[in-house]
Amino acid sequence: MQVEFNKVTWYSKLLAIIIFVGTFFLGYWLGQNYATLTCTAQEYNKQVQEASKQVSIINTAVFACPKSQAIYAVFTKNQVQIKLSDGRAYTLPQVISADGGRYANADESFVFWNKGNGAFITENGKNTYDNCVTQQ
């Protein structure tokens, strides 16, 4: 049997109809999946916002240091979020301390100490923000 590509037959018409209708169903299906994915992303963002609202802020403080340095601190349960006057920002977990609050990164190359209205920062064993006190 020899195939003639330029001849219109009943099965070529059937194939054209299936492809034509299938294209619309495929487009509909892809559109529904896109809507579901978009909705899922919006729900995820909403959950993240709700979770961030559940983090209870215990206290906030601004520590003024010599040399026009400053530490902005937000204390939450078991961690502190600090922003330094040079633009750096850290979220540090609380670690064991004999006196006052001590917060450090995993290798303790960056440590934030707080006791009463004073604070200082140690970076790689050297005090970089020292003699800082809270603003009243």
DSSP assignment string, the chain: ----TT---HHHHHHHHHHHHHHHHHHHHHHHHHHHHHHHHHHHHHHHHHHHHHS-EEEEEEEEETTTEEEEEEEETTEEEEEETTS-EEEEEEE--SSSEEEE-TTSSEEEEEETTEEEEEETTEEEEEEEEE--
β-sheet bridge partners, residue 82: 73, 90
How many domains are there within the chain?
2
Q: 29 and 72 share a domain?
A: no
Q: 50 and 77 share a domain?
A: no
Q: 62 and 126 share a domain?
A: yes
Output the pLDDT for position 51: 58
Q: Encode pLDDT of 92-117 as tens digits.
A: 999 998 888 999 999 999 999 999 89
Q: Encode pLDDT of 127-136 as tens digits.
A: 999 999 986 6
End residue of a domain, out of 38, 54, 70: 54
The ranges of the chain with pLDDT < 70 are 1, 3, 33-55, 135-136
Token pair in block for residue 46: 């909403």
Q: 68 and 85 share a domain?
A: yes
Q: Which domain holds residue 23?
A: 1-54
Q: 104 and 93 share a domain?
A: yes
Angle at 62 between CA 121 and CA 92, to 5 degrees: 45
pTM of model > 0.75: no
Q: 66 and 85 share a domain?
A: yes
